[in-house]
Structure 1
Amino acid sequence: MDYKKLIPSRKFRLKLLKILDFLPDKLMIKLQYGISTGRSLNIKKPVRFTEKIQWYKLYYRKQLMVKCSDKYDVRDYVASKGYSDILVPLYGVYDRAEDIAFDKLPDQFVLKTTNGSHTNIICEDKSKLDIEATKEKLNQWLNAWEGKVGREWAYHEIKPKIICEKLLEKDQNNDLVDYKFFCFNGKPFSLYVIVERFLSGGLKLGIFDTSFRKLPYKRVDIPALEKDIKKPKNFDRMLEIAKALSSDFPHVRVDLYNIDGEIYFGELTFYNGSGYKGYVPDDFDYILGKEFQLPKKIK
C-alpha cells in the first residue's frame, strides 16, 4: 500500500503523525511497516533488508550517525577521511533565512536545510528568484514540526540550519546522474543509478552491481531505468570513496555524483526509503538483507 496515495497531503500526514507521536517507537514502526508493505514486521529475527532497517532505527544509535546525517556536519567527516576534494563548494551556512546575504551569492546556487528530505531550492538564475518567498519557504522548513517521522532517530537530534552550495552543472542531456552505493561494514555491494530527475518524464532508477552490471531488479515505487548507461569515468575511485565513507557503519548508503570524471559528494543515508520501499522481484529484499549483518545493540 502506498500511504502517500492514500493520504496525498503531506501537511495532513504530518498532523496525523503528530497526533500519534506519543506511541513508542517500536509500536509505531510496526504500524508504519505494515501499512507501507502489507506485511507484518519480524523485528526479533529480521531477515529482509527492509526489516533490518527497522531494527537499525530501534537498536543501533551510534552518535556519529547524527553528525553524518547532518548535511553540514557531514562535510567534516568526509574531510577527515581525506576526501575534502569531493565536497561541493559551500557558499554559506545560516541559522535562519534572514541571515542569507542574497546580494553576495552567485547567480546560481542551491539552498537546503541540513536535516530535511526534499527541502532544496535550486536557483538557476538569481534575477528571477523571489527572495521573500524563498525566505518564507526556508523558514517554514526550519520550523516545521517533523517530530518522530519515520522514527529515524539520527535526524531528530540535528539542529536544523540552512546551507548554500554551488549548483552542479548538468550533463549534455540536461541531467545530473546520481550514484547511490549500498555499503555494509565498509564494503560496497550494489548501487542505484538515478537519471532524468530534471526531465519532464520524471526520474528513472536502475540497480547495478559493483562491476556496473545492471541487475534484474527495480524499486516498486520508481519507474525502472530501461536505457543503457555507460560506466562513469573514475568509477574505481567512486568505489574507493564509498568504501572509506562507509567503514564506520554496519550499513550506510553513500551518494555521489560524477560529472565527466569529477566526483562530488551527495550525502550519507542510513535508512534508505525509511525501510518501507520494496523491490520487484521481491527476493532482492532478502539479498540485501543477507549482506546487512546486524551489529550489537547501541541504545
Structure 2
Amino acid sequence: MAGKTGIPGTPGLLRRFDAMVLSRVNRWIARTHPGIVRGLRKARRRQTGKGRINIAVPRTVNEKFAWRKIFDHDPRFTVLSDKVACKDWVRRHFRDVRMPKTLWTGADASQIPWQAFNTPSVIKARHGCKMNIFLREPSADRDAIIAEANAFVGKRHGEKAHEWAYSDVPSGLIVEELLFAGDWCFDVKIYTFGREIGQVVPIYTRGDQRNAAMWLMEDDGVLRLSDEYTAVSDEIDQTPLPQHIDEMLAIASEIGAHFDHMRVDFLCNDTEFFLGELTVYNLSGKYSHHGFEEDYRDNRLWDIRRSRFLSQRQRGWRGIYQGALRRELDRIDAAGG
C-alpha cells in the first residue's frame, strides 16, 4: 500500500522501491556523465582489477568524489575554489587565521604593480590549479612573465575532470606574497571529514627538492607515519611533523565542521604557519591509494549524509532519489557496513 507520496509503506516494498530508484539513477548517470563513469571504472580496474562501480550509492572515497561532482553542487564549493573569494570566506568565519598577504588581483597581468615584481611573490590563476609563477627574486623579463600570466586567464580549469565547482569561478589572477622564499618549508595537506581528521600529507620543500609522507590519524587521535608512498614523491620523507601541527589540526577541524569533506592546506616552517587553500576535489577528485577500499578509515569517516545535497530538500526526481539514497545509507550504517 502506497502512502500519500506514492512511496510504498511497508519495509519490504519500500526497500524494493528504493532499489529500483537507485538502479535507474545509476543508468541515468551512465547516460549523462559517461566521462566520469569511464574514468572511474578505469581507475578501479587499475587499482583493484575490477571495474564495477556504484555512483548512485557511493561506498568508496573515489565513488564519493564522483557523486560530489554530479550531485553535490554546494554553492560554497565555487566560493572556496576561487582563490580570491576563498580568502574572504575564511576571514568571515575565522578572523584569527593568518593567510598569505594579497598584493594584487585582476584580469590583466600588465596591471600588476612593479613592487610585486621586485619582492618575493607568486602569481596564481584565481580560477584553477597548477597555474603559478614564482618570483623568488627580482626579474628583468617582466614582459615574458606578463605574457605567461595572461595565458592563464584564457584557460578554463576543471572541465576535463568534471570539477563542477570551477565552472562559475571568474577567470583572473591573484598575486600573493611568497612565504619562506629561499628557505625550506612544509606544505601541509589535512584531510577533514566533518570535524574528524583522516590523514595528513606534509610536503617538505628545500630548494628544488620536494618530498612527502603520509601520516594516518588513528582512532585514538594519534598520527602515525605510513609506510606508503604519496603521489608527490617516490620516497617517504622522514622529517618530523612541523612544530605547529596541533594548531593546524585544530583549525582544519573547525573548518571541516562546515562540510562532509574538505582538504585544508597550510604553509609553514618552524616558527609560523599560514592557511593556504581549501580543496574541494583532491587530485581532481580521487585518492591515489585506497580510493576504492570501503573499509579504509577516510572512507568510513566520509559521511555524505552531511552533504548539502542530502541535508537540504531536493525537488522532483532528485527528491525521490534523495530519500531512497538516505534510506539505503541508513540501512548500510545499521548493518555495520
TM-score (norm 2): 0.72
| Deviation readout 1:153-207 (Å, 9 max, x if unpaired) | 1111100221111111158xx432111111011322221111237424x433323
Residue 251 of structure 1 is matched in structure 2 by 261
- Residue identity (%): 22
1:184 aligns with 2:193: yes
| Deviation readout 1:79-118 (Å, 9 max, x if unpaired) | 1222454111111111211221224654211110111111
Q: Which one of 254, 272, 275 corresponds to residue 265 of structure 1? A: 275
Residue 66 of structure 1 is matched in structure 2 by 78
Which of these two proteins has the greater Rg computed from alpha carbons? 2
Per the alignment, in what secondary structure is the counterpart of residue 171 of structure 2? coil
| Deviation readout 1:53-84 (Å, 9 max, x if unpaired) | 11111111111111111111111111122245
Q: Which one of 156, 172, 178 corresponds to residue 167 of structure 1? A: 178
> Is there any run of 5+ residues in structure 2 with no aligned partner, and where?
1-29, 46-50, 315-337
| Deviation readout 1:254-287 (Å, 9 max, x if unpaired) | 0012222311011011111123442179758833
Calculate the aligned-residue CA RMSD, in Å: 2.7
Per-residue deviation, 1:37: 4.2
Q: Which one of 172, 197, 203 corresponds to residue 194 of structure 1? A: 203
Residue 13 of structure 2 is matched in structure 1 by none
Per-residue deviation, 1:146: 4.0
> Is there any run of 5+ residues in structure 1 with no aligned partner, and where?
1-22
Q: Aligned partner of 1:181: which letter?
A: I
Q: Aligned partner of 2:253: which letter?
A: K
Report how many residues are paired.
272
The answer as to whether partners of 1:47 and 1:286 remain within 8 angstroms in 2 is no
Q: Aligned partner of 1:203: which letter?
A: N
Per the alignment, in what secondary structure is the counterpart of residue 47 of structure 1? coil
Q: Provide closer, same or farther for how the CA distance between residues 120 and 57 of structure 1 changes in structure 2, counting only shifts above 3 A.
A: same
Q: Aligned partner of 1:97: which letter?
A: A
1:136 aligns with 2:143: no
Q: What is the distance in 2 between the residues matched to 1:37 and 1:129?
A: 48
Residue 155 of structure 1 is matched in structure 2 by 166
Residue 98 of structure 2 is matched in structure 1 by 86
The answer as to whether partners of 2:125 and 2:132 remain within 8 angstroms in 1 is yes
For 1:270-289, what aligned pairs fall within 5 Å after superposition?
270-279=280-289, 283=293, 286-289=296-299
Q: Aligned partner of 2:226: which letter?
A: L
Q: What is the distance in 1 between the residues matched to 2:137 and 2:106?
A: 21
Residue 33 of structure 1 is matched in structure 2 by 40
The answer as to whether partners of 1:111 and 1:122 remain within 8 angstroms in 2 is yes
Per the alignment, in what secondary structure is the counterpart of residue 233 of structure 1? coil
Residue 99 of structure 1 is matched in structure 2 by 111
Q: Provide closer, same or farther for how the CA distance between residues 280 and 292 of structure 1 changes in structure 2, counting only shifts above 3 A.
A: closer
Q: Aligned partner of 1:217: which letter?
A: E
The answer as to whether partners of 2:215 and 2:223 remain within 8 angstroms in 1 is no
Q: What is the distance in 2 between the residues matched to 1:258 and 1:181?
A: 13
Residue 207 of structure 1 is matched in structure 2 by 215
For 1:119-134, what aligned pairs fall within 5 Å after superposition?
119-126=131-138, 128-134=139-145
The answer as to whether partners of 2:293 and 2:299 remain within 8 angstroms in 1 is no
